[in-house]
Chain A
């Protein structure tokens, strides 16, 4: 068992907290916790209210995150938009809805970066995702399994992501959010649509986070390409940003 050794300064107590020292300590602890390399490339949401709660200041790169809910596709596309390089998207071949280029483009994700892999069954999806995560080529690997992923599988995927330094997203479209099996993923999110074209973002679990759970209402900002918080009062009936009119 390796021990993190640290030379503490002589005078403790009244001295202000040394930020560099803390950061260094965190890195050492992270290095002990994770077997693979610790990557610095975090995908920040660009919303300080969310990012400040997450240990890495955003979605940790080189890790797998799980996303539940009914707006997972849009969420994944907005994450993909923040990254460069190819994106591998593993779908079950029985899915009847393909990602649609023009819609992805509206979220800032150039569909020409996308490679769709159609897999038969959960095993193939997991295999494909693992291969993608282990490779350094794609910047993001998205998988849409038709069933929840267990502890062993998620652990394996997480190790692959650490080895390749690749970000992975597991989408469970409309998946059951209530009771979840233990999992080795770095964080778990629930994303549901809200009225007015935004998302209701719930952090269900996050390894190393300062909070255990929080909720935000966000929407995609066309101008900046980032997510933005929606004021709670914005749910009034009337003209909204997405141009839909009440019935």
Chain B
């Protein structure tokens, strides 16, 4: 329950019952509390505060933490930052109180119980919070009431008490809150979002709204960010562009890359498509570009045209463009796997997960050599790969036999599959494939399979198999296509 400024002036206060409120002010406007909505609003406000620092966090139901270490100079000092924050918040229609202190606990108390927005240096924390009520220590109401029964109403009253009996009497939590406020123990607070180590920020004196201006701003940010990345010999895998609009809303654009990169034109290209979809509203006043996900990337060699690595590099850029539109989960490469089960001999590997594979020639270790040798021998053992289809069905599809199965386990000579009739003309088989005993594969629950290559009267070639062996009813499936 909360009251606004006008209600407070009329004599209402939080905690008063509705009947009393109606008696005092008959035309009081009552709005039911909506905690979910408030929380969403507070979270959005915390994002908005990202314009000051990447490190923001929602505190309970009515507060936001900002860690402005190293950020204040961007706004002309701590006092200017605090003033800017409060001014903008009041323009947005919020009534807010703020305080800046060296510990979260002290800032919490000062923001709520100091008369004005204050900035408290580290060495004056102790006496500045001494006169504040003990509620400022984020204590439970039981503790606060038992403290006040003992006459301990101000934080300063607790300073002289010996810590051990105090902790025993009022709980370890209470003692710790005091320590936290005074900076005797540290108080870690997780930021709302992962704080990207690589960040670049640009603020505009006049809000910008034109798409060209935003593109130019982005280019500027990209240059700054890629410079940082290059100094750290890293490349971005995911980049976030945050636009702070003048009306207080925040817009975000995220692009991903298949391989680490710090090429400005390439990244600018990836952003370009998204920028057209952005709505700058009445104007954008701050743009922040950050790279939350980066990878080691050695020194650039991409600027030289016609290099050997040039072609692969630009395949990466193509994949990035496709991935940002289609989603990286839909781009796959085929990787061979050692297995004799048809569906296990290849794996679809998302291109974004694919690391640069060591090529067999470049791997000096004997262990690797052995592995490749065994792969090669496996291929030889398979004999000609011509016995494998060119397309494999993701799930084998059952056929409908028209004629009964031949006596020697050969496939039915006439069957129907996908609404088409197949009349067998030539066959080859069976090739017996048994499930690997160490696999618990549901698809292979039917046991051994007998594979046949068949060709029908029209020249269509399929890879069929018969599930199970012997007595039980035979079931035939199509598993692959040869054409």
Contact = CB atoms under 8 A, between A and B. Distances in A.
Given A74-B483, A106-B384, A100 B333 contact: no
A99 B388 contact: no
A155 B253 CA distance: 33
B330 A118 contact: yes
B375 to A, nearest CB: 12
Nearest to B323: A117
Interface in B123-141: none
Contact of B333 (A112, A136, A192): A112
A200 B483 CA distance: 11
B426 A136 contact: no
B345 A101 contact: yes
Given A103-B385, A127-B325, A137-B311, A73 B331 contact: no
Interface string B385-426: 110111111110100000000000010010000000000111
B455 interface: yes
A212 interface: no
B245 interface: no
Contacts of A72: 483
Contact of B346 (A97, A101, A107): A101
Decide if the interface of chain A is mainly helix, strand, loop or mixed.
mixed
Interface stretch (B44-52, B293-301, B313-321): B313-321
B88 interface: no
Nearest to B459: A193
Contacts of A138: 315, 318
B257 to A, nearest CB: 15
Given A70-B460, A128-B322, A114 B333 contact: yes
Nearest to B411: A247
A58 B258 CA distance: 35
Interface string A93-123: 1001111111111110001101111110000
Interface string A187-219: 000001111010110000000000000000000
B91 to A, nearest CB: 43
B480 interface: yes
B34 interface: no
Nearest to B395: A96
A153 interface: no
A97 B388 contact: no
Contacts of A117: 322, 326, 330-331
Interface in A66-96: 70-74, 77, 85-86, 88, 93, 96
A97 B392 CA distance: 5
A200 B459 CA distance: 10
B336 interface: yes
B385 A106 contact: yes
Nearest to A84: B311
Most buried by A among B312, B330, B331, B413: B330
Interface in B62-91: none
Contacts of B458: 70, 192-193
A222 interface: yes
Contact of B336 (A107, A111, A127): A111
A99 B393 CA distance: 9
B315 A112 contact: no
A118 to B, nearest CB: 4
B426 A100 contact: no
B311 A93 contact: no
Interface in B446-483: 453-455, 458-461, 480-483
A100 B392 contact: yes
B413 A247 contact: yes
Given A86-B315, A244-B426, A103 B326 contact: no
Interface of A: 70-74, 77, 85-86, 88, 93, 96-107, 111-112, 114-119, 124, 127-128, 131-132, 135-138, 192-195, 197, 199-200, 222, 240, 242-247
6 contacts: A99-B334, A101-B345, A102-B382, A103-B390, A192-B459, A240-B426
